[in-house]
Amino acid sequence: MAPITRREALAAGTATAAFAGLGEFSRLGKLTPVSAPEAEPGPNVVRLHPSLEPTVRLIEQAPRERLLEQVAEQIRKGLSYRDLLAALLLAGVRNVEPRPTVGFQFHAVLVVNSAHLASISSPAKHRWLPLFWSLDYFKSAAAQDQRQGGWTMAPVDESALPPPRRAPEAFREAMENWDEKAADASVAGLARTAGSGEIYEMFFRYGARDFRSIGHKAIFVANSYRTLQCIGWHRAEPVLRSLAYALLMHEGSNPAQRDAEADRPYRRNLERIEQLGPDWRGGKPDQGATESLLETLRSGSNDAACDHVVELLGTGVSPQSIWDALFVGAGELLMQQPAIIPLHAVTTTNALWFAFQTAADDRTRQLMLLQNAAFLPMFREAAGGRGRLDGITIDDLRRQAADAGATRSIEDVFAELDRNPVAAASQALAWLQQGGDPQRLMDAARVLIFLKGTNAHDYKFSSAVLEDYYHVSPPWRDLYLASSMLKLRGSQTPDNALVARIRAALG
């Protein structure tokens, strides 16, 4: 028998009763892939890839109280992880409308990639668990959508598709003019004739061009791209149609014909990138530059933040030092108000960093960096409109960690998280600074999300933070991870109601 690694031992839970609860899922490693009976959608519903339609119909039609058990039965017959992931995403885009804002019940779609990231970052025997949570969440979201009118994605208007050579231009025109009908037809044409890189180069920009839906547009762009890379580009068309429809969400009259606050940073940043030279990525790391940009993010306007970024790049500062300030600034805002708006400052930064890393065009990368710098002051202002922001900073967290004394165990940190989140954050930082293994802390955090998580943000937030630890420069990583502890799950929180049910279904 192969020896058990330290990571697997922790995730199975040798430390506390909470972690040990996942040990009962070890039998999942024996489950293998499926084929479902044929089923056909109605004539007014978009048809999906024939190989997946039966599984999608099962997800759509099974009662919520029986869905997990029926899917478990299909897994025993051979349904694969990849096909279940694809069916879950496609059921969401076909049945849940990304309106009136790209959030609320649409989190059933947004959370799919986050659940996938949690799965692939866990030991193999636990990888079904986040998907089973997401299946149940889809049923809840679909019921909410039904109460709001029962939207379903219709088949594309084939007569409106532009010729293949005109599809990119037609899509850009439609998106610039906020024309939903033209965008739907042109993006369907693109899905059939263009590659993922060409299409998402445009989507990265349109997902980041406005602050409506507090970052969910950029999040949907990044998450949809990443999930399609796993499930296959041949399943892209309905996802891209949903994405284009979501990005065109707005209030009031056509944004192209007015000067709304949500749109101003992007228009100004299109001008700012003209100031950046060809060597803008060749600067040197500078912790002082990170500190100075953090100060601007704490009190400056979105214009001040973007101007500061252009100035730093112009003086030879590495973009990584700017990203360090953006990551840590988002985490600091979360400490000041551990609520829904600052949480999205963190997850939006994760999405824009992904777009920055993935985009092929320098102008797109520059826009992602500048838009993130603009969004953080806008998140700060939006959070201030919902309640008081505490004055705590990462400097305070450093001081508290220095006063924390002897190293605490991982178990003590997560137990303290339920009682005093700020104290738990300082203890986590002290533990990390005294040589604690960050991977061990992250493994424990994922296990607790599996056991204690109750909403889509548990998965969205934790997947973003635990991934971004390695995207932050080493001098700032531990601070970033510690500041994010406030929205992870503590070990004293009761298990979510699905834990026992999933155990029974897969047993």
Residue 223 lies in a domain: yes
Read off φ and ψ for residue 245, nearest 5 degrees. Answer: -60, -40
Q: Is 170 part of any domain?
A: yes
pLDDT digits (tens, 9 = 90+) for 282-341: 999 999 999 999 999 999 999 999 999 999 999 999 999 999 999 999 999 999 999 999
215 occurs within a structural domain: yes
Residue 6 is inside which H or E element, if any? helix 6-12
Across 118-127, 224-233, 431-440, least confident range: 118-127
Asked whether the beta carbons of 485 and 4 are under 8 A apart, the reply is no
Please state the separation of Cα 99 from the chain's center in Å.
18
Please calculate the CA angle 46-49-55 and round it to the nearest 5 degrees: 90
Give the pLDDT mean for 408-423: 92
171, 202 Cβ separation under 8 angstroms: yes
For residue 7, is it within any domain? no
Amino acid letter, residue 246: A
Characterize 422-448 residue by residue with b for buried, 16 or more Cβ atoms within 10 angstroms of its Cβ, and e for exposed.
bebbbbbbbbbbeebebebbbbbbbbb
Summarize the confidence of residues 139-157 as an average pLDDT: 93
The token pair at 104 is 């609320």
The pTM assigned to this predicted structure is 0.91
Tokens of 458: 């548990």
Contact 15, 410 (CB under 8 A): yes
Task: Check residues 164 and 20 and name the one with the higher pLDDT.
Answer: 164
Instruction: Give the C-alpha separation, 299 to 166, whole Å.
Output: 46
Average pLDDT over every residue of 245-257? 97
Q: Is residue 477 part of a domain?
A: no
Of 211, 320, 330, 342, residue with least CA distance to 268: 211
Report yes or no on 171 lying in a domain: yes
Per-residue pLDDT, averaged over 273-282, amounts to: 95
Judge whether residue 35 has pLDDT over 50: no
Q: Return the amino acid letter for 443.
A: D
**pLDDT band at residue 49 using 50, 70 and 90 as cut-offs:** confident
Is 21 among the domain residues? no
Nearest to 482 by CA among 465, 470, 461, 467: 465
pLDDT band at 500 (very low <50, low <70, confident <90, very high): confident
Main-chain dihedrals φ then ψ at residue 284, nearest 5 degrees:
-105, 150
Bigger pLDDT: 56 vs 122: 56
Between CA 452 and CA 95 the distance in angstroms is: 27
DSSP letters spanning 155-190: PP-GGGPPPGGGHHHHHHHHHHTT-HHHHHHHHHHH
Q: How many residues does the chain have?
A: 507
Q: Which residues contact 165 (CB under 8 A, 6 or more apart)?
A: none
How many domains does the chain divide into? 1
What are the two backbone dihedrals, phi and then psi, of residue 317, each rounded to the nearest 5 degrees?
A: -85, 140
Cα–Cα distances in Å, from 248 out to 45, 179, 329?
Answer: 21, 8, 29
Mean pLDDT of the chain: 90
Residue 300 lies in a domain: no
> Locate tokens 């900073």: which residue?
393
List the Cα angle 135/219/228 in 5-degree steps.
60
Tell me which of 124 and 141 has the higher pLDDT.
141
Highest mean pLDDT: which of 16-20, 31-35, 126-130, 201-205? 201-205
Burial 292-312 (b: 16+ CB within 10 A, else e): bbbebbbebebbebbbbbbeb
Buried b (16+ CB within 10 A) or exposed e, 140-161: ebbeebeeeeeebbeebeeeeb
The reported pLDDT for the residue numbered 9 is 40
End-to-end CA distance of the chain: 23
What is the percent of the chain with per-residue pLDDT over 70, rounded to a whole number? 91
269: pLDDT strictly greater than 70: yes
Nearest to 102, CA basis, from 254, 226, 212? 212
The CATH number of the domain holding residue 248 is: 1.20.272
Q: Does residue 482 surpass a pLDDT of 60?
A: yes
Q: Give pLDDT, residue 45.
A: 66
Residue 383 has pLDDT above 90, yes or no: yes
- Residue 386 near residue 339 (C-beta atoms within 8 A): yes
For 340, the token pair is 């829904």
Q: Is the pLDDT of residue 61 over 70?
A: yes
Cα atoms found within 13 Å of the Cα of residue 504, Cβ hemisphere only: 10
Domain that holds residue 174: 158-255
Q: How far is CA 219 from CA 111, 213, 216, 334, 370, in A?
A: 10, 10, 5, 18, 16
